[in-house]
Structure 1
Amino acid sequence: MELLSSSKAFGGSQRVYRHDSAACACPMTFAIFLPQQIEDRPVPLLWYLSGLTCSHQNVVDKGEYRAAAAANGIAIICPDTSPRGEGVPDEPDNWQFGSGAGFYLDATQEPYAKNYRMESYIRDELPDLVSQHFSLDMGRQGIFGHSMGGHGAITLGLKNPQRYSSVSAFAPISQPSTAGWSRPALEKYLGSDEAAWRAYDSTLLIADGHRLPDLLVDQGSADGFLQEGLRPWLLEVACAAADIPLELHMRDGYDHSYNFVSTFMAQHIAWHAQRLVTA
């Protein structure tokens, strides 16, 4: 594991690392914020998954999460959104697929199956790696994300309730199997049999019996992707049918940008802290 950068922030340390990933068969980069409390004891861990076209760098630069993470004594890991580099299949002119658009799934279709294994990377490989190098309490993990990353956070949370004690999302893609900007990606990664897509659709996972203890979602009312791509009301219906407590906030006038995410970032971290630190 190679340290690419390190900078002190709020008494802790913001770092970026690169390592060779077996899951993705290429080098992968991730950011990690380590709060000062880690010097005295293992700290809880919160995963943040970014959206389409992003890498770890977007939230590091614009997410404004370090003050809240430091105050609550929580480490935050920001993985990349997809495999990258020479030899990794890509569609450079398609921002909804390939590099920057891994959708946090394990692809089964060629030529993507070798590299696009983001679910295995986030769920298995990266936790194992960081647990060996940092004083993290792996028994207290939460997960959240934005847009495509919100989709990834909820699906990973639903399928791994023993792993993640808290789950939240900013403007998640609530039903990617029917949204115009995600259906084509699911077909290329997973094939034309839509039954295989159910494992990566929050509403369908809930319909199939997967559960969360509760869920926090923030969504901007002025989000340009609200009607066609995000549709939080579908998640609301699914949660209501399954008796999953959903705290859905429609934020008047906010769009899809990091101006929206950063505004409510501290509230999300405090919500996770109630479940990871004080529980």
Structure 2
Amino acid sequence: METVSTNKSHGGVQGVYRHDSRETNCPMTFSVFTPPQAERGPVPVLWYLSGLTCSHANVTEKGEFRAAAAEHGVVIVAPDTSPRGADVPDEPDNWQFGSGAGFYVDATQEPYAKNYRMYSYVTKELPELVAAQFPVDTSRQGIFGHSMGGHGAITIALKHPDRFKSCSAFAPIVQPSTAGWSKPALEKYLGADEKAWRAYDATMLIADGARFKDFLVDQGSSDNFLQDGLRPWLLEEACAKAGVPLVLNMRDGYDHSYYFISTFMADHIAWHAARL
């Protein structure tokens, strides 16, 4: 693991790191904020998954999470959103696919299967690396994310309810198998058989029996993607039918940006900390 940069912040350390990934077959960059409490021993860890076109840098630079993370004594890990590099297949003119748009799936279709293994990267490889290199208590893990990353966080929590004690999301894509900006990506990564998509669709996972103890979702009412891409009411319906507790906060006048996310970031970290 290579240290790209470290900066002291709120008594802790904000670092950016790089390593060669066995899952994505390319170098991967991620950020870790370690709070001051970690000097005394392992602390809980929160995984933050970013959205389309983003990298680790967006939340690291705009998320305004460090004060709350330092207050509650939690590590925040922000992975990248996709493999990157000259040898990684991409569609440079398509912001909804390829670089910056890994959708947290393990691709099965060529030529993407070799590199686009973000599900295994986020759930296996990166946790192993973080556990070995940072003072984290792996018995106390939570996960959250934004948009495509909210989709990733909820689906991963549903598939690993024993590992994660908390899960929340900002403006998540709750049903990517039918949303216009995600359905084409799922077909390219996973093939034309829509049955294979269900494992990466929160509403379908819940319909198929997956459960989690409770979710927190914040959604801006002025989000340009609300009606066509996000549709949080579909998650609300799925959770209500399955008896899964969900707090859905519709935030009047907020959009899809980090101005929205940073406004409610401290609330989410406090919510996670209470469960961790």
Matched with 2:55 is 55
Tell me, yes or no, if structure 1 residue 175 matches structure 2 residue 202. Answer: no
- What SS does structure 1 have at the residue aligned with 2:195? helix
- What SS does structure 2 have at the residue aligned with 1:236? helix
Question: Identity of aligned pairs, percent?
Answer: 73
Q: Report the count of equivalent residues.
A: 276
Matched with 2:76 is 76
Measured in 1, the distance between the counterparts of 2:103 and 2:163 equals 20
- What SS does structure 1 have at the residue aligned with 2:126? helix
Counterpart residue identity of residue 8, structure 2: K
Counterpart residue identity of residue 179, structure 1: A
Deviation at 1:163, TM superposition (A): 1.1
Measured in 2, the distance between the counterparts of 1:197 and 1:92 equals 24
Measured in 2, the distance between the counterparts of 1:42 and 1:61 equals 25
Tell me, yes or no, if structure 1 residue 236 matches structure 2 residue 236. Answer: yes
Matched with 2:164 is 164
Matched with 1:128 is 128
Counterpart residue identity of residue 255, structure 2: D
1:27-86 deviations in Å (ceiling 9; x for gaps)? 000000000011001000000000000000000111000000000000000000000011
Residue ranges of structure 2 left out of the alignment (5+ in a row): none
Counterpart residue identity of residue 46, structure 1: L
- What SS does structure 2 have at the residue aligned with 1:211? coil
- What SS does structure 1 have at the residue aligned with 2:31? strand
- What SS does structure 2 have at the residue aligned with 1:125? helix
Measured in 2, the distance between the counterparts of 1:224 and 1:122 equals 28
Matched with 2:192 is 192
Measured in 2, the distance between the counterparts of 1:132 and 1:171 equals 32
Runs of 4+ aligned structure 1 residues displaced above 2 Å come to none
- What SS does structure 2 have at the residue aligned with 1:81? coil
Counterpart residue identity of residue 75, structure 1: V
Deviation at 1:187, TM superposition (A): 0.2
Matched with 2:30 is 30
Matched with 2:138 is 138
Deviation at 1:135, TM superposition (A): 1.2
Counterpart residue identity of residue 37, structure 1: Q
Measured in 2, the distance between the counterparts of 1:135 and 1:172 equals 29
Deviation at 1:149, TM superposition (A): 0.2
Matched with 2:205 is 205
Describe how 1:197-276 pairs up with structure 2 within 5 A. 197-276=197-276
Describe how 1:92-131 pairs up with structure 2 within 5 A. 92-131=92-131
Measured in 2, the distance between the counterparts of 1:263 and 1:183 equals 30
Segment drifting more, 49-58 vs 130-139: 130-139
- What SS does structure 1 have at the residue aligned with 2:267? helix
Counterpart residue identity of residue 51, structure 1: G
Matched with 1:7 is 7
Measured in 1, the distance between the counterparts of 2:69 and 2:181 equals 32
Deviation at 1:162, TM superposition (A): 1.1
- What SS does structure 2 have at the residue aligned with 1:233? helix
Counterpart residue identity of residue 13, structure 2: S
Counterpart residue identity of residue 83, structure 2: P
- What SS does structure 2 have at the residue aligned with 1:179? coil
Measured in 1, the distance between the counterparts of 2:116 and 2:139 equals 27
1:137-178 deviations in Å (ceiling 9; x for gaps)? 001000000000000000000000111110000000010000
Deviation at 1:122, TM superposition (A): 0.3
Residue ranges of structure 1 left out of the alignment (5+ in a row): none
Counterpart residue identity of residue 153, structure 1: A
- What SS does structure 2 have at the residue aligned with 1:217? strand
Measured in 1, the distance between the counterparts of 2:219 and 2:95 equals 22
